[in-house]
Amino acid sequence: MMKLFCPAKINLTLHILGKRPDGFHDLETLMCPVSLFDELELEESPGGIELTVTGADLPGDATNLAYKAAAKVLEKCASTKGVRMRLTKKIPMGGGLAGGSSNAASVIRGVNDLLSCGLSEEDLHGIAASLGSDINFFLQNGPAICRGRGEMVSSVGLKDPLRAVLINPGFGVPTPWAFQSYASDPQSGEVSSLSLALTKGGAVVLRNDLEPAVFKKYFWLQEAKHWLSEQAEVRGSLMSGSGATVFGVLRNDLNTLQTNLLKDKIRTYFGSSVWTEIVEVLSGTEKCYG
């Protein structure tokens, strides 16, 4: 049996460059895996695919992205073997954290290794690109600039360690709706004054071009971003992906007591039922990808 940890991601930048002929948008986004994980167990079976999901109301059939990923790998390598999968969801759904894409990437790499399929990196990335825009990112360790519709991935590094606080309201924002709303009224996202240095030179500032469109309907998210930006513990704030998770980049000198107090402040302001978590950006050296 193989156990894998499927990390969430946050977008430090999300620039929309234009509409593509295929209906998608050309993007340039800096995505970072973070220390919030779904758990995936894989086990060889005599044949077929079995998927059990706990922690979320998701089907375990062929409509599930993890199931589709397993089917694609088995088809590509013409394997007569099967796989039994147990997925434990901990990443909020519809939150701009790409839990489903992370699950699919772990399945692609995990099934290939578990069943000794021998597929190349090119094969794995081809399967990922055929299934969704963020999956290729999770096949590579650590932060990356993703272009095209997200399938063109170039690894980068952040010069300094980075921690963030995540806030999720308990509802999701449909990604297709967010892009359609942007297309009907394209506006650039607000550029943050926070500059984050990259290891290979250059720097990035926080910006998400989907924010204006999403904030027009989901006022809670705009309020969360604004509130975070005013906290002394936070260096800058942003919506991740198409939402509904908002994050604040934390000061590097904060200790555990201070970060716990910040979480308490969040629950006091937004209500005790709000989901919040402190996460670290993963550099790619951590043993979480199997």
pLDDT digits (tens, 9 = 90+) for 197-234: 999 878 999 999 999 999 999 999 999 999 999 999 99
3-state SS string for 70-120? HHHHHHHHCCCCEEEEEEECCCCCCCCCCHHHHHHHHHHHHHHHHCCCCCC
Report the DSSP pairing between strands 163-168 and 152-155: unpaired
In a domain, 106, yes or no: yes
Question: DSSP assignment, residue 203?
Answer: E
Helix (H, G, I), strand (E, B) or coil at 62: coil
Report the amino acid identity of residue 158.
L
Please report whether residue 133 resides in a domain: yes
Burial 1-28 (b: 16+ CB within 10 A, else e): eeebbbbbbbbbbbebeeeeeeeebebb
Same domain? For 190 and 248 the reply is yes
pLDDT grade, residue 139 (50/70/90)?
A: very high
The number of folded domains in the chain is 2
DSSP 8-state secondary structure symbol assigned to residue 193? S
Q: Same domain, yes or no, for 168 and 75? A: no
Q: Which residue segment(s) compose the domain that 244 sits in? A: 163-280
Structure tokens at 71: 């089917």
Render pLDDT for 265-283 as a digit per residue (tens, 0 to 9): 999 999 999 999 999 999 8
Query: Are 214 and 240 spatial neighbours (Cβ–Cβ below 8 Å)?
Result: no
Query: Do 109 and 54 share a structural domain?
Result: yes
Do residues 31 and 150 share a domain?
yes
Confidence of residue 290 (pLDDT cuts 50, 70, 90): very low
- Same domain, residue pair 236 and 129: no
Token readout for 231 is: 């906290």
Does residue 127 lie in a domain region? yes
Q: Looking at residue 11, what is its pLDDT?
A: 97
Is 258 found in the same domain as 207?
yes
Q: What is the pLDDT of residue 289?
A: 45
Nearest to 216 by CA among 189, 198, 235, 193: 189
Same domain membership, residue 147 and residue 9 = yes
Is 3 part of the annotated catalytic residue set? no
Q: Which residue has the higher pLDDT, 243 or 19?
A: 243
User: Do both 135 and 177 map to the same domain?
Assistant: no
pLDDT on residue 285: 57
Q: What percent of the chain has pLDDT over 70?
A: 98
List 38, 89, 134, 225, catalytic entry:
134
* pTM of the predicted structure, to 2 decimals: 0.93
Is 57 a member of any domain?
yes
Structure confidence by residue, pLDDT tens digits, 20-55:
787 778 899 999 999 999 999 999 999 899 999 999
SS3 58: coil
Last residue of a domain, one of 107, 132, 155: 155
pLDDT at 183 over 50: yes
- For residue 186, the domain's CATH number is 3.30.70.890
pLDDT value of position 286 = 54
| Catalytic, out of 9, 68, 72, 89 | 9
Reply yes or no on whether 134 is catalytic: yes
Is there a single domain that holds both residue 151 and residue 13?
yes
CA pair distance 264, 17, nearest whole angstrom: 39
pLDDT at residue 287 is higher than 90: no
- 75-122 confidence digits (pLDDT tens): 999 988 999 999 999 999 989 999 999 999 999 999 999 999 999 999
Assigned domain for 286 exists: no
Residue 33 in any domain: the answer is yes
Domain of residue 141, CATH code? 3.30.230.10
Q: Which two tokens stand for residue 116?
A: 């000794």
Same domain, 24 and 132: yes
How does residue 185 score in pLDDT terms, banded at 50, 70 and 90? confident
